[in-house]
Chain A
Amino acid sequence: MVNIAQAWAEAYGEANSTVDISVAGGGSGTGIAALINGTTDIANCSRAMKNIEKKKAKNTHGKDPQQYIMGLDALAVYVHKDNPLNEITIEQLGQIYGEDGSITKWSQLGIKPNDGHDEIIRISRQSNSGTYVYFKETVVPKGKEFKLGSRDLHGSKDVVEIIGNTPSAIGYSGMGYATDHVKMLKVSSKQGQVAYTPNIENVVNKTYPISRPLYMYTLGVPTSRVKTYIDWCLSDAGQKIIIDNGFIPAPKN
């Protein structure tokens, strides 16, 4: 979410030159850690805080973390634009990415990628990323971890870029990071069910199975400055930036 956060900060800074906003990156885990360490006012997260993290925050500062939903995001499964594959199930993803999963080659999916390499090159994120955590919880069987040996990249953008250059790769990243060199797969929850494309409509009506809210967390009730900023991000001006960056506006409730 660092790009949204930076875009908000940039736009807010233009409108309000008295407020000083600095944006640090590093993934949802980094933001939550900073919140717990007391070194940040707001943590932008693409996953919910875990109970153990909420407890730690409460123990360290005596305050419960406050959650705000800022928008929605669909996690797209990307392949190279020339890859013959068009859709995939959650279970297949679990077999590809999960610790003891059995799918390692494209031929197991009945596919032959353009560059002739049969081995599926798994592109993943580093463990500090909310995207990483969310994908794991959705796709990998409970209690298991990701299979070792995936290329663990730092940012959402890297994933898409690498896949755009690598015909035999597969990866996951926010819907907002799509480029012309990649293709988003349709995803179905189970074999035999309808596979849906990640787009605004399917996320809002909850048919696309891998979508999640984008959160902001503060420690307890935020100060008035911070609250004003959060309200601005939820306003039309802030939500326009959400749309411009390829995400979906927060549900109005």
Chain B
Amino acid sequence: MLHRSKYKVLSEGIIECLIRVCGISAVVFVFAIFLFVFWEGKGLIFSGEFEFWKFLTTKEWYPASESNPRYGVSALIAGTVSVTVLAMVIAVPFGLGVALFISEFCSPKLKETLKIVIELLAAIPSVVWGFIGLTIMNQLIMKLFGAPIGLTVLNGAIILALMSVPIIVSIGEDALQAVPDSYREAGIGLGVTRWQMVYKVLLPAAKNGLLAAVLLGVGRAIGETMAVLMATGHAVHIPFNAEFPYLHGLDSVRTLTATIAAELGETARDSSHYQVLFIIGILLFTITFVVNLTADLIVKGVKGK
């Protein structure tokens, strides 16, 4: 029986207590974020001036108006949705394609190199992406599409796609690797080609993980701030209408995130404008929370508990 000094036992107890406290820190912070953001915005919600339905469905965004302040964010939501959707249309096929290539079709050496390149792509700061959108993409889009101005949905979408691809690739690749080799062996044993094995065996087996990868990519795109602030032209405008192609990628839009970033500085604390920006923050927090929760549930569904 080992004897341990009282000091050692006590100090170890303290350390273990500290460890447990830190363990729940993430939960504490998530709650805290919601709490503080809600706290700063609550004034407007409870003031009677604010109608939630009108907030979500009207597009007149004039929060700083003295005569007739209006808080409709439908155009801003349309901005976020349009850029995200277009970005995913680009990022999902490319991301899954790259994930498949890395996981199934390339040599181990190339795999290492590609994974490193993807990781470096993920490390690029969002303001640098925004700068690229503002300078390089702007000119490119104007030249290639003859658009009058290059700061558009398309610009933001391409940038967001390049930012989301690394997430889709790394989580997608994990999902593909998680499919047991026995599946692959069975396929080869039956004489199918690699592509057939991928298409008929792997993709269905990994679909939950791949779906989660896409969802996390969507979450990233919705939450992005600086890149879209600089690249989308910042116009309160709904780029959808009934004419083909329904989403006008060459229009300028403004996202929820960019609106907060652009307008927060001007507001005096506790003014309605200040509070409505925090309400948008709550909206964003809720959306990304739901997206992340869904992704987690999908993945856990596979592993089964």
Q: Is A188 an interface residue when CB atoms closer than 8 A count as contact? A: no
Q: Give the docked Cα–Cα distance between A143 and B263 (Å).
A: 22
* Cβ–Cβ contact A27 & B59, under 8 A: no
Picked from B64, B138, B233, the residue with its CB within 8 Å of the CB of A127 is B64
* Cβ–Cβ contact B149 & A30, under 8 A: no
* Cβ–Cβ contact B146 & A115, under 8 A: yes
Query: Which chain B residues lie closer than 8 Å to A165 at the CB level?
Result: 138-139, 142, 149-150
Minimum CB–CB distance for B235 against chain A, Å? 5
Q: Is A240 an interface residue when CB atoms closer than 8 A count as contact? A: no
Total chain A interface residues with beta-carbon distance under 8 A: 35
* Cβ–Cβ contact A148 & B236, under 8 A: yes
Query: Which chain A residues lie closer than 8 Å to B66 at the CB level?
Result: 50, 52
* Cβ–Cβ contact A151 & B67, under 8 A: no
* Cβ–Cβ contact B149 & A151, under 8 A: yes
Contact residues on B (Cβ < 8 Å of other chain), bracket: 35 or more
Q: Give the docked Cα–Cα distance between A126 and B142 (Å).
A: 23
Q: Give the docked Cα–Cα distance between A29 and B66 (Å).
A: 13
Q: Which residues in chain A, 207-223, are within 8 Å of chain B measured between CB atoms?
A: none
Among A33, A36, A150, the one with the most B-chain Cβ atoms within 10 Å of its Cβ is: A33
Query: Which chain A residues lie closer than 8 Å to B60 at the CB level?
Result: 148
Of chain B, the residue at the smallest CB distance from A50 is B66
Q: Which residues in chain B, 117-169, are within 8 Å of chain A measured between CB atoms?
A: 138-139, 142, 146, 148-151
Q: Is A58 an interface residue when CB atoms closer than 8 A count as contact? A: no
What 1/0 flags go to A106-132 for Cβ under 8 Å of B? 000000000101010100001110000
* Cβ–Cβ contact B151 & A151, under 8 A: yes
What 1/0 flags go to B49-78 for Cβ under 8 Å of A? 000000000011111111110000001000
Q: Is A64 an interface residue when CB atoms closer than 8 A count as contact? A: no
Q: Is B262 an interface residue when CB atoms closer than 8 A count as contact? A: yes
Minimum CB–CB distance for A212 against chain B, Å? 18
Q: Is A26 an interface residue when CB atoms closer than 8 A count as contact? A: yes
Q: Give the docked Cα–Cα distance between A180 and B237 (Å).
A: 30
Picked from A27, A56, A121, A148, the residue with its CB within 8 Å of the CB of B266 is A27
Q: Is A167 an interface residue when CB atoms closer than 8 A count as contact? A: yes
Q: Give the docked Cα–Cα distance between A119 and B268 (Å).
A: 36
* Cβ–Cβ contact A162 & B149, under 8 A: yes
* Cβ–Cβ contact B65 & A37, under 8 A: no
* Cβ–Cβ contact B64 & A148, under 8 A: no
Q: Which residues in chain B, 202-247, are within 8 Å of chain A measured between CB atoms?
A: 229, 233-237
Q: Is A149 an interface residue when CB atoms closer than 8 A count as contact? A: yes
Q: Give the docked Cα–Cα distance between A168 and B234 (Å).
A: 18
* Cβ–Cβ contact B262 & A33, under 8 A: no
Q: Is B48 an interface residue when CB atoms closer than 8 A count as contact? A: no
Query: Which chain A residues lie closer than 8 Å to B236 at the CB level?
Result: 148-150, 152
Q: Which residues in chain A, 129-187, are within 8 Å of chain B measured between CB atoms?
A: 143, 145, 148-154, 162, 165-169
Q: B interface vs A, CB < 8 Å?
A: 59-68, 75, 138-139, 142, 146, 148-151, 229, 233-237, 252, 254, 262-263, 265-269, 271
Q: Can you name 15 A-B pairs with beta carbons within 8 Å? A: A29-B64, A29-B267, A33-B269, A33-B271, A37-B268, A37-B269, A53-B268, A117-B148, A121-B148, A127-B64, A128-B262, A128-B265, A145-B68, A150-B235, A169-B149
